Amino acid sequence: MTSVTPDSFSSAPPEVSRLGPVAWMKKNLFSDWFNSILTVIIVTVLGLGAFRLITWAFTTAQWEVIPNNLGLFMTGTYPSELYARIWVLLAIMCALAGFSWGVIARNVSTLFSRNVLIGIGVICAFIILFPPTRPSALKLLPMVAIVAGMAAGGRALGRKFPGIGKWVSLSWFISYFAAIWLIGGGLGLTNVSTNDWGGLVLTLFTAVTGIALCFPLGILLALGRRSALPVVRWLSTAYIEVVRGVPLVAFLFMGQVMIPLFLPEGARPDRVLRAIIALSLFSAAYLAENVRAGLQAVPRGQREAAMSLGLNTPMTLGLIILPQALKIAIPAIVGQFISLFQDTTLLAIVGLAELLGIGRSILANPNYLGRYAEVYLFLGVIYWIFCYAMSLGSHKIEQKLNTEG
Amino acid sequence: MVSDSGGKRFNLKALLRDERFWKIAFQVITLLVVIGIAAFLIGNLNRNLARQGTVFGFSFLVNPAGFSIGESAIEYRPNDPYWRALMVGLSNTLSLVAAGIVLTTVLGVAAGVASFSTNWLLYKLSRVYVGLVRNVPLLLQLFFWYFAIYGTLPRPDNQINFLGLSYLNNRGVYIPWPSSAKLALFGIATIIIGAVAAFYLWQWRTNLRIETGTGGQAQLIGLGVLGVGVLLILTIGMNWQTPQGVEGGGVTGGLRLSREFVAALSALVFYTSAFVAEIVRAGIQSVSKGQWEAARSLGLNPGMVMRLVVFPQAMRVIIPPMNSEYMNLTKNSSLAFAVAFPEIYSVANTTYNQTGRPVEVFLILMATYLLICLVITLVMNQLNRAVQFKER
């Protein structure tokens, strides 16, 4: 498949008439008296707010709570002599991410375009200059190098072997189990009980596992709800509606209490596992509704055409209906994944030391009493980066899959 | 399991190829699996409960609760029964949700409309707000409001006085309020009746003017009288009580909104509004460009275009997803328990801890939230019917 970058054949864009700064302000900020008043009010309020925030950040705030506890934030009470395993895991993830990036971008003319280079430079500068990351710069900078190197390698390999995509997916799949092995130990590594899993690692682990479990379950429920078979339809509908009627806290908390009650005596699944099960069962119901909306948007003719070609029901669903439905539903599905990621914070309430939970226990430390704003702002930035990256990714996929022209 | 009709030879191959057979078989298998799992789980539950010496039942609800609740809209004493404690929790949830829905609607619609502003600063502000708030977990925001914002307000002996009308300190927010609950209810009823009356008067006047082209003076006067009357009742008749600062700290009079309530309300409103803003934005975008242009070419100014032409049409797209946002807000209000606001989930949790009856308590919780969501859905469906296309 040859691909042409859009720039090379599209006609030149119309000349943008550049406004001078004064004219721009007149047009966009002071077009009439109402807008002028609005502008003045907003500038005053924002200016005062920004001024107070900056003075607070540089005078009152005591930021040492962040660098002093960075290990806790990232991994919780994970034994520090085993941190090397987490670093290895991070290196694997970076390598895979870089490789996938290279494979995906194999048709782009220059992989390291100016913007990408600027981005890499900013990340490196940040790692060196930002006090909390500076001590680990010798480990973090090679990570950036791994990403870049693997991206170049992935691009070269991707050009040579166009079918490499499924191997990349397979290695992501395998890397998940490698991650469990590296974090939890066993098979020759020291065991680390899930009680010591924590921080960002636990947040990401629960989120990824939850997403991986709720996705197929949600699709099954959506298909069940749209099914022509009454029993399947009723059961799926009942499940979806009941779960959607209960708040997640209740689901999680009671899940911690009730899952053991519903199991034979002595069978007590792990705390983290219980939380992940509750989270996935909960999210699946919401995801099912998003997928259902996608299914409804696929024209009936598609199904009839597939049937008349002689495909049976599973093949019609798997080859014709679902690919189209999922494509339509991507924004909603990613939105659901984002809220699942955010919902992992509720695990803090049921006593798991994920990112927010570890933040709360650090705040309970008498040395850091009252450092609420500093810690919560820091956590907020971390969550924001991940969620924003996800929504950006969904936007990219949406554009890539847009076949409407 | 099925013998073919009419004494024909049983043909397994034909049966396996027959889709009708598979349809039935698949359903039977599904049902059997589900029943099997359910039987297994419920059997375990019964065995586990029997081992604990409890029997499923709701009779514990009449036992005295024995715990105190920090704030309640209805009267409650610690030795009241559990069901009354749960009612207190419900009343707290309802006040949080009601205030939350009203404020979310206002802020969300404002933020959504602001993203179409010709004022660049307002537009950017709206976009940054949505992009920032939607991508940070609600629970984190709740803690931020509770600990980092309301928690750092000055102590009662150094409290902030706002325009002489309200007081702020780290125990809560004090606002003016009618001196008695009866008067407050009376005031709310007055507003509702007045609004309904005004709506019908306005419709009457519009119809009259459409049919005859003139007139409507009498109705306009009626509207004015109505407005003045409602205003008079609201200002004088309600016997407003403004909070008064006490020497050495503390406040008397007015209504105290506890720090827990205010923090939960702020977090819920700011979080949900960002989603509402996106819904409103999508709704307005769904109105075709020709509508804007036609309205503009009729000589309406931008504000009127939005208010009279675009927004009413956008409502059709906005209302259905708003329903699910309101339900999300209702369910998310249970997070207020994390800052110790005694809403229904928090009370239910205490009840469970004291009685050791997770299943019953969970069922009550589920029924309560389903009921609230059902009421919201009913109201929203009514509203939805009102804004749909009126076609011949």
Q: Suggest the residue from A29, A257, A392 to mutate for an interface test with chain B (most B CBs closer than 10 A).
A: A257
* Average pLDDT over every residue of A355-381: 90
Model confidence band, residue A12 (pLDDT cutoffs 50, 70, 90): low
- Residues 6+ positions from A324 with CB-CB distance below 8 Å: A294, A298, A302
Q: Is A389 left (phi over 0), alpha (psi -120 to 50) or beta?
A: alpha
CA B132/CA A387 separation, integer angstroms: 10
Strand segments, DSSP code E, in B166-268 are 166-169, 172-175, 177-178, 240-241, 244-245, 251-252, 255-258
Mean pLDDT value of segment A377-391:
92
Q: Chain A neighbours among B 293-352 (CB < 8 Å)?
A: 331-335, 337-338, 345, 348-349, 352
Structure confidence by residue, pLDDT tens digits, A218-265: 999 999 998 888 888 999 999 998 888 888 988 887 777 777 778 877
What pLDDT shows up at residue A403?
67
CB proximity B48 to A under 8 Å:
yes
Question: Closest residue of A to B30, CA-based?
Answer: A232
**A208 — pLDDT class (breaks 50, 70, 90):** very high
Q: By the CB < 8 Å criterion, does A60 face chain B?
A: no
Q: Are A121 and A176 in contact (CB under 8 A)?
A: no
CA distance A313 to chain B (A): 9
**Shortest CA distance to B277 belongs to which of B93, B94, B132?**
B132
- Write out pLDDT tens, residues B163-198: 777 888 878 888 887 777 777 788 788 888 888 888
- Give yes or no for A237 touching B (CB within 8 A): no
- The answer, for B387 touching chain A at a CB cutoff of 8 Å, is no
Q: Between these two residues, B261 and A104, which has the higher pLDDT value? A: B261
Residue B10 has pLDDT above 50, yes or no: yes
Q: pLDDT band at residue B109, thresholds of 50, 70 and 90? A: very high
**Residue of chain A whose alpha carbon sits nearest to that of B18:** A312
State the pLDDT at residue A1: 41
Which residue of chain B has the CA closest to A239?
A: B34
Query: What residues of A are in contact with residue B41 (Cβ under 8 Å)?
Result: 262-263
Q: Which residue(s) pair with B244 in the sheet?
A: B252
Q: How far is CA B135 from CA A342, A379, B183, in A?
A: 8, 12, 42
pLDDT tens for A60-92 read 888 888 888 888 888 888 888 888 888 888 888
Counting beta carbons within 10 angstroms of the beta carbon of residue A64, is it exposed (0 to 12), middle (13 to 18) or buried (19 or more)?
middle
Measure A202 CA to nearest chain B CA, in Å. Answer: 16
pLDDT in the model for residue B3: 47
Do B139 and A46 make contact, defined as CB atoms within 8 angstroms?
no
- Given a cut of 50, whether residue A3 has pLDDT beyond it is no
Which whole number is the average pLDDT over A10-19?
Answer: 62
Q: H or E stretch including A7?
A: helix A6-9
The reply to whether B43 touches chain A by the CB within 8 Å rule is: no
Residue ranges in A298-345 assigned as alpha helix (H): 300-308, 313-315, 322-343
Mean pLDDT of A356-376: 89
pLDDT at A404: 60
Note whether A117 contacts B: Cβ–Cβ < 8 A: no
* B132 contacts in chain A (CB < 8 Å): 384
Question: What pLDDT score was predicted for residue B4?
Answer: 46
Paired with B175 in beta bridges are B255
Least-confidence region, from A217-221, A253-257, A281-285, B84-88:
A253-257
Q: In the numeric block, which tokens belong to residue A21?
A: 């700064």
Query: Of A214, A332, A249, whose CA–CA distance to B369 is shortest?
Result: A249
List, for residues A23-62, the tens digit of each pLDDT value. Answer: 887 777 777 788 888 888 888 999 999 998 899 888 888 8
A23-54 per-residue burial string, b: 16 or more CB within 10 A, e: under 16 = eeeeebbbbeeebeebbeebeeeeeeeeeeee
Nearest to A219 by CA among A283, A272, A276, A168: A283
Nearest to A264 among B44, B140, B333 (CB): B44
Mutate to test the interface with A, among B24, B29, B51, B147 (most CBs of A within 10 A): B147
Q: Is B203 on the interface with A (CB under 8 A)?
A: no
- CB-CB under 8 Å, A42 with B122: yes
DSSP string, B23-70: HHHHHHHHHHHHHHHHHHHHHHHHHHHHHHT--S-SGGGGSB-----S
pLDDT for the residue numbered A388: 92
Identity at B310, one-letter amino acid code: V
Cβ of B358 within 8 Å of Cβ of A258? The answer is yes
Q: What rounded mean pLDDT belongs to chain B?
A: 85
Average pLDDT of chain A is: 85
Contact with chain B for residue A354, Cβ under 8 A: no
| Residue among A276, A239, B36 at smallest CA distance from B44 | B36
Q: How many Å lie between the alpha carbon of A359 and the closest alpha carbon of chain B? A: 10
User: For residue A177, which amino acid is it?
Assistant: F
Closest in A42, A247, A379 to B345, CB measured = A247
- pLDDT computed for residue A8 by the predictor: 46
- Name every chain B residue with its beta carbon within 8 A of the beta carbon of A257: 352, 358
Instruction: Nearest by CB to A247, from B134, B144, B369: name it.
Output: B369
For residue B348, give how far its alpha carbon lies from the nearest alpha carbon of chain A (Å): 9
pLDDT one-digit tens code per residue, B129-142: 999 999 999 999 99
Q: Which two tokens stand for residue A400?
A: 């890539």
* Per-residue confidence (pLDDT) for residue A111, from 0 to 100: 76
The size of the A-B interface in CB pairs under 8 A is 154
**Residue B9 confidence class, pLDDT cut points 50, 70, 90:** low
pLDDT of residue A207: 94
Assign A206 a pLDDT band (cuts: 50, 70, 90): very high
Nearest CA-CA distance, residue B148 and chain A, Å: 5
Please give the residue that has the higher pLDDT: either B295 or B50: B295
CB spacing of A372 vs B345 below 8 angstroms = no
To which residue do tokens 């939230």 refer? B369
Q: How many CB atoms lie within 10 A of CB B31?
A: 14
Name the nearest CA neighbour of A350 among A268, A279, A262: A279
**Which pLDDT does position B144 carry in this prediction?**
93
Which 382-401 residues of chain A touch chain B by CB within 8 A?
A: 383-384, 387-388, 391
Better-scored residue on pLDDT, B73 or B338: B338
Which residue, B77, B88, B253, is CA-closest to B165?
Answer: B253
Subunit contact A29:B120, Cβ cutoff 8 A: yes
Could you identify the residue written with the tokens 């709720």? Answer: A214
- Mean pLDDT computed over A312-324: 89
Q: What is the pLDDT of residues A119-173, one digit of tens each?
A: 889 988 888 888 777 778 888 888 888 888 888 888 888 888 877 888 888 988 9
Distance between B317 CA and the closest CA of chain A, angstroms: 15
Across residues B380-391, what is the average pLDDT? 78
Q: What is the pLDDT of residue A405?
A: 47
Among A201, A163, A239, A129, residue whose Cα is nearest residue A357? A201
Neighbours of B158 (CB within 10 A): 10
Angle at A321 between CA A319 and CA A327, to 5 degrees: 100
Q: Is A86 helix (H, G, I), strand (E, B) or coil?
A: helix
- Residue A305, pLDDT score: 93
What is the distance in angstroms between the Cα of A57 and the nearest Cα belonging to chain B?
13
DSSP B95-141: HHHHHHHHHHHHHHHHHHHHTT-S-HHHHHHHHHHHHHHTTS-HHHH
Inform me whether the C-beta atom of residue A213 falls under 8 Å from chain B C-beta atoms: no
Which among B135, B334, B358 has the least Cβ separation from residue A261?
A: B358
Backbone angles phi, psi at A227, to 5 degrees: -70, 155
pLDDT band per the 50, 70, 90 thresholds, residue B239:
confident
Strands B251-252 and B177-178: unpaired
Q: Which residues contact B392 (CB under 8 A, 6 or more apart)?
A: none
